[in-house]
C-alpha cells in the first residue's frame, strides 16, 4: 500500500487523570473511506478531534500527509471537519459560509463565487439559497451546506463527526447514498465517526470498531460482519444470536464444538469459521438471524436443532422476524424468514428450529 | 398582522400584560405628559402661572449656554460608552475564555462592588484622585507623570467615576452574549484555516453584537442622567444636564425651565439612539434581523 495519508500510531490521550485513548493506531489510505465505530464514550470522537487538531496527544505520534502533526494547529492541517451540530456560522449567509475557507486563503472574489456556485451544484442545493442564512434552511439543506464548506477548499481528509445523527431516517438514507457517491467522485479520504455500525458498513471501505479507548477490530465491512473479532463486535450490528458452546481441541488439530442445549452431534469447525482473536474465556457460536429456520421433522446431517416457544413475531414485509424462547438461553433466538402470505407459526406455538453449526462463526467474549 | 390581532383578542394575554401596562401608564407616560405640559407655563414670584405660551422655549433656543451643556452631556455620554465598552469587552471575553474556571468567583466580586452604594463609591474616588490621593502617590512612586496631577474636580474625574459606575452593565450583557456562542463555531473557524485573531473578528465579535449594543445603550442612557459623578468628582466645574435641570427646579425654582431642559435631554438622547440604531440596522441584512 502507498504511504497512508493519516498515520496515527499508539495514540494515548489523557483528560486529567482519565485516560480516553489507550494507545490507538489508525491508518487511512489516500482516497479511503474509514469509519470509526463504537458506543458513546469509546473515544472515537476524541480520536477525530485529535486528527482535526482540536486536541493534543498525550503520547504517540500522528502524521498527516507524511508530516508530523505535533504542535500543528487545526488551521494549518489539511483536514476539514463536518461537525455533529454542523456549526454553520449563523451570522453569515450560505455563500459566506461555504466561501469562508477560500476567503481565508485569499482567493479573489470572482474565484470564490465561482467555486461556491460549483459546490452548491455538487450538493444539489438551490442556487437561490446563496443569500439566505443557515437558520432559513431545512436540516438536510444545512447538512449539505456544512459538507460544501468542508469540501470547498479540496482538503486532503474530510472528517465527519456523526453528521447525520440528528436527521430523520428517510433523509439520513438519502444523504448516506449521496455521501458515498460524493466520496467516489472526489477521491478525498473520508473519516466518519458514527455509533451506527450499519451506517459504517454501508459507507466505509474500512471500519475501526472501538471500545473503551481501544481498537477492538479493524477490517472491511464484510470482515466485521462475517468475521467479527468477538461478541462485542458481533453484537454491535443489528440482532444476532449467540449460542454458548463447549470447545475442545486446537485450531491446528481441529476445534470440536458441542452444546448440551441442542439436539445434534458435535462438529469440527473449519479455520475459516473461527475468529482469529479467539481467546481463553467463554465461547459462543454466532448465528445470524437469516441462517436459522423452522424444522418440520428431525434435524438432517450436520444440523443442530433447538426447541422452544414462539414469543413474538414481526411482519416486516420482505421478511418476517420470529423470536423463539429456548430453555437455557438468556435471550430469545431471533430468526429472519423470507416474508410469506401464510405465517409458519403462531405465538405460543411449540416449534423446532434448526441451523448448520459448520456455517456459524466461533468466537469468544 | 394576523397574529397581532389574535394577541389582542386573547383575554388571558391582555390580563397578563395589563398590570405592567397600567404601571407604565400611571408612573411613566402620565408624568412625561405632565412634564411636557409644564414647559408651556411661566413662573412669576416663584409661582407657577397656568398659561399657554412659548416663553421658556424661546429662552432655551436663544441661549447657547444651555446647548453647550446639553452637547457636553451627550459628548461625555458617548465617550463613557466607548471607554466602558473597551474595558467591559476584554473583561467579559476573559471570563468566558482564560478565566472561565474562576468566572463565578470573579462575577460575585464584581456584583459586590456593583451593589455597593454608588454615593459611597463615588466619594471613595476622592481619596484616590485627590492631589494627595492614592493615584498621585502611586504615579510618583513609580516615577511616572508629573509631581501631582489634578484629576479631581475636572471632567476627567467625572469620566473616571462614570466609567467606574457604569462599565459593569456592558460587562454583563457582553458576557451573556459571549457565553452563548457555541464553542464549535470557534473550532469550525480554526478548522477552516482562520487564525485566533481572524476567528475573533469573523465569529466571536459579530456574534457578541447583541450584548455589545444593549450594553452600549444602557451606558449611554445612564450617562445622560449622570448626576453624582459631575458633582462629587467633577466638582461642578463643568456641569452636565442633570445639574442644570436640578438648578432649574431647586435653586431657580423655575419648573417650566427644568421641564423643558428635561424634554430637550430626552429628545437628544432618543435621537442619538435612533441614529445609532439606523447605523446598526443598515449594516445588518434584513434576513438576519428577521431571525434575531
Closest Cα in chain A, distance from residue B287 (Å):
7
User: Which tens digits make up the pLDDT trace of B56-84?
Assistant: 999 999 999 999 999 999 999 999 999 99
* Widest CA span in chain B: 76
Q: Among A194, A226, A258, identify where a domain stops.
A: A226
Domain B56-291: give its CATH code. Answer: 1.10.3720.10
Shared domain check, A59 and A38: yes
Say what the ipTM of the complex is: 0.85
Q: Which of A9, A8, A13, A62 is nearest to A212 (CA)?
A: A13
Residue A268 lies in a domain: yes
Report CB contact under 8 Å: A105, B287. Answer: no
Helix (H, G, I), strand (E, B) or coil at B47: strand
Residue A220 clears pLDDT 90, i.e. is over it:
yes
Shared domain check, A112 and A54: yes
Residue A206 lies in a domain: yes
Report CB contact under 8 Å: B187, A87. Answer: yes
pTM across the whole model: 0.83
Shared domain check, A288 and A359: yes
Residue B276 clears pLDDT 50, i.e. is over it:
yes
Shared domain check, A270 and A221: no
**Distance from C-alpha of A304 to C-alpha of A248, rounded to nearest angstrom:** 18
Out of B192, B288, B291, closest to residue A104 by CB? B192
Instruction: Confirm or reject contact between A135 and chain B (CB < 8 A).
Output: yes
Shared domain check, A235 and A222: no
Shared domain check, A292 and A330: yes
Q: Which of A53, A210, A43, A188 is nearest to A122 (CA)?
A: A188
Residues 6+ apart with CB under 8 A from B106: B95, B99
Mean pLDDT of B145-165: 86
Which chain B residue has the Cα nearest residue A75?
B193
Residue B149 clears pLDDT 80, i.e. is over it:
no
Shared domain check, A176 and A32: yes
Residue A1 lies in a domain: no
Q: Give contacts of A 142-201 with B, CB under 8 A.
A: 149, 153
Q: Report the CATH number that the domain containing residue A316 is assigned in CATH.
A: 2.40.50.140
Shared domain check, A282 and A217: no
* SS (HEC) of chain A: CCCCCEEEEEEEEEECCEEEEEEEEEEECCCCEEEEECCCCCCHHHHHHHHHCCCCCCEEEEEECCEECCCCCHHHCCEEEEECCECCCCCCCHHHHHHHHHHHCCCCHHHHHHHHHHHHHHCCCCHHHHHCCHHHCCHHHHHHHHHHHHHCCCCCEEEEECCCCCCCHHHHHHHHHHHHHHHHHHCCEEEEEECCHHHHHHHCCEEEEEECCEEEEEECHHHHHHCCCEHHHHHHCCCCEEEEEEEEEECCCEEEEECCCCECCCEEECHHHECCCCCCCCEEEEECHHHCEECCCCCCCCCEEEEEEEEEEEECCCEEEEEEECCCCCCCEEEEEECCCCCCCCCCCEEEEEECHHHCEEEEC
Residues 6+ apart with CB under 8 A from B30: none
Q: Report the CATH number that the domain containing residue A134 is assigned in CATH.
A: 3.40.50.300
Whole-number percent of chain A with pLDDT over 70: 99
Residue A299 lies in a domain: yes
Beta strand A189-194 pairing with A33-37: parallel
Shared domain check, A183 and A65: yes
Q: Give contacts of A 95-124 with B, CB under 8 A.
A: 100-101, 104-105
**Chain B interface mutation, best of A55, A64, A89, A152, highest count of B Cβ atoms under 10 Å:** A89
Domain count, chain A: 2
Name the interface residues of B facing A (CB cutoff 8 Å): 182, 184-185, 187-195, 198, 202-203, 206-207, 285, 287-288, 291
Residue A306: which domain range?
A: 231-364
The count of C-alpha atoms lying within 13 angstroms of the C-alpha of A117, restricted to the half-sphere facing its C-beta, is 8
Shared domain check, A183 and A161: yes
Q: Among A196, A226, A256, identify where a domain stops.
A: A226
Mean pLDDT of B231-240: 87
Residue B46 per-residue DSSP state:
T
User: Which tens digits make up the pLDDT trace of A284-340?
Assistant: 999 999 999 999 888 888 899 999 999 999 998 889 999 999 988 989 999 999 988
Shared domain check, A184 and A282: no
Shared domain check, A199 and A148: yes
In terms of Cβ atoms closer than 10 Å to its own Cβ (0-12, 13-18, 19+), residue B45 is exposed
Report CB contact under 8 Å: A90, B207. Answer: yes
| Residue B147 pLDDT | 67
CA B281 from chain center: how many Å?
A: 20
Residue A175 lies in a domain: yes
Residue A63 lies in a domain: yes
Amino acid at each position: 500500500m502507498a504511504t497512508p495519508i493519516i498515520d496515527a500510531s499508539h495514540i494515548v490521550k489523557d483528560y486529567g487523570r482519565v485516560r480516553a485513548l489507550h494507545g490507538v493506531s489508525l491508518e487511512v489510505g489516500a482516497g479511503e473511506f474509514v469509519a470509526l465505530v463504537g458506543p458513546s464514550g469509546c473515544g472515537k470522537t476524541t480520536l477525530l478531534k485529535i486528527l482535526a487538531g482540536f486536541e493534543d496527544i498525550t503520547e504517540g505520534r500522528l502524521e498527516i500527509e507524511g508530516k508530523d502533526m505535533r504542535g500543528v494547529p487545526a488551521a494549518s492541517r489539511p483536514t476539514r471537519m463536518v461537525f455533529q451540530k454542523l456549526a454553520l456560522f449563523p451570522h453569515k449567509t450560505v455563500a459566506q459560509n461555504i466561501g469562508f475557507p477560500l476567503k481565508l486563503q485569499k482567493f479573489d472574489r470572482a474565484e470564490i463565487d465561482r467555486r461556491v456556485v460549483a459546490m452548491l451544484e455538487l450538493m444539489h442545493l438551490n442556487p437561490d439559497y446563496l443569500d439566505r442564512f443557515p437558520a432559513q434552511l431545512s436540516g438536510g439543506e444545512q447538512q449539505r451546506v456544512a459538507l460544501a464548506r468542508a469540501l470547498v477548499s479540496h482538503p486532503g481528509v474530510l472528517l465527519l463527526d456523526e453528521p447525520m445523527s440528528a436527521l430523520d431516517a428517510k433523509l439520513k438514507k438519502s444523504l448516506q447514498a449521496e455521501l458515498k457517491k460524493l466520496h467516489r467522485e472526489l477521491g478525498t479520504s473520508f473519516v466518519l465517526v458514527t455509533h451506527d455500525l450499519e451506517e459504517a458498513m454501508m459507507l466505509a471501505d474500512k471500519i475501526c470498531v472501538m471500545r473503551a479507548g481501544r481498537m477492538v477490530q479493524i477490517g472491511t465491512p464484510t470482515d466485521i460482519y462475517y468475521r467479527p473479532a468477538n461478541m462485542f463486535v458481533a453484537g454491535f450490528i443489528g440482532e444476532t444470536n449467540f449460542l454458548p458452546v463447549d470447545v475442545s481441541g486446537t485450531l491446528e488439530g481441529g476445534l470440536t464444538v458441542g452444546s448440551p442445549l441442542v439436539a445434534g452431534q458435535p462438529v469440527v469447525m473449519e479455520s475459516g469459521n473461527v475468529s482469529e482473536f479467539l481467546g481463553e474465556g467463554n465461547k459462543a457460536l454466532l448465528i445470524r438471524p437469516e441462517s436459522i429456520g423452522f424444522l418440520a421433522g428431525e434435524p438432517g446431517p450436520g444440523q443442530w436443532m433447538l426447541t422452544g416457544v414462539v414469543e413474538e413475531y414481526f411482519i416486516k414485509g420482505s421478511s418476517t422476524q420470529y423470536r423463539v424462547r429456548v430453555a437455557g438461553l438468556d435471550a430469545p433466538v431471533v430468526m429472519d424468514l423470507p416474508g410469506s402470505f401464510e405465517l409458519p407459526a403462531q405465538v405460543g406455538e411449540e416449534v423446532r428450529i434448526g441451523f448448520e453449526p459448520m456455517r456459524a462463526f466461533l468466537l469468544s467474549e | 398582522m394576523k397574529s397581532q390581532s389574535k394577541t389582542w383578542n386573547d383575554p388571558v394575554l391582555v390580563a397578563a400584560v395589563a398590570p405592567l401596562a397600567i404601571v407604565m401608564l400611571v408612573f411613566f407616560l402620565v408624568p412625561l405628559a405632565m412634564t411636557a405640559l409644564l414647559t408651556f407655563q411661566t413662573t412669576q414670584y416663584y409661582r407657577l402661572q397656568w398659561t399657554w405660551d412659548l416663553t421658556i422655549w424661546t429662552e432655551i433656543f436663544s441661549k447657547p449656554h444651555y446647548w453647550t451643556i446639553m452637547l457636553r452631556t451627550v459628548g461625555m455620554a458617548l465617550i463613557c460608552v466607548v471607554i466602558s465598552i473597551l474595558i467591559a469587552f476584554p473583561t467579559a471575553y476573559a471570563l468566558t475564555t482564560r478565566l472561565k474556571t474562576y468566572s463565578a468567583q470573579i462575577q460575585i466580586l464584581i456584583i459586590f462592588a456593583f451593589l455597593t452604594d454608588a454615593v459611597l463609591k463615588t466619594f471613595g474616588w476622592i481619596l484616590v484622585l485627590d492631589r494627595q490621593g492614592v493615584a498621585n502617590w502611586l504615579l510618583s512612586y513609580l516615577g511616572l507623570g508629573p509631581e501631582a496631577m489634578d484629576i479631581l474636580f475636572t471632567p476627567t474625574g467625572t469620566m473616571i467615576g462614570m466609567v467606574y459606575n457604569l462599565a459593569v452593565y456592558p460587562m454583563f450583557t457582553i458576557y451573556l452574549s459571549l457565553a452563548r456562542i457555541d464553542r464549535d463555531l470557534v473550532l469550525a473557524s480554526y478548522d477552516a484555516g482562520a487564525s485566533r485573531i481572524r476567528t475573533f473578528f469573523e465569529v466571536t465579535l459579530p456574534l457578541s453584537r447583541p450584548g455589545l449594543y444593549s450594553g452600549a445603550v444602557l451606558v449611554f442612557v445612564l450617562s445622560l442622567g449622570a448626576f453624582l459623578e459631575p458633582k462629587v468628582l467633577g466638582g461642578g466645574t463643568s456641569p452636565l444636564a442633570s445639574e442644570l435641570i436640578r438648578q432649574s427646579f431647586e435653586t431657580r425654582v423655575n419648573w417650566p425651565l427644568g421641564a423643558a431642559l428635561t424634554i430637550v435631554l430626552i429628545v437628544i438622547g432618543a435621537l442619538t439612539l435612533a441614529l445609532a440604531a439606523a447605523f446598526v440596522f443598515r449594516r445588518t441584512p434584513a434576513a438576519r434581523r428577521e431571525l434575531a
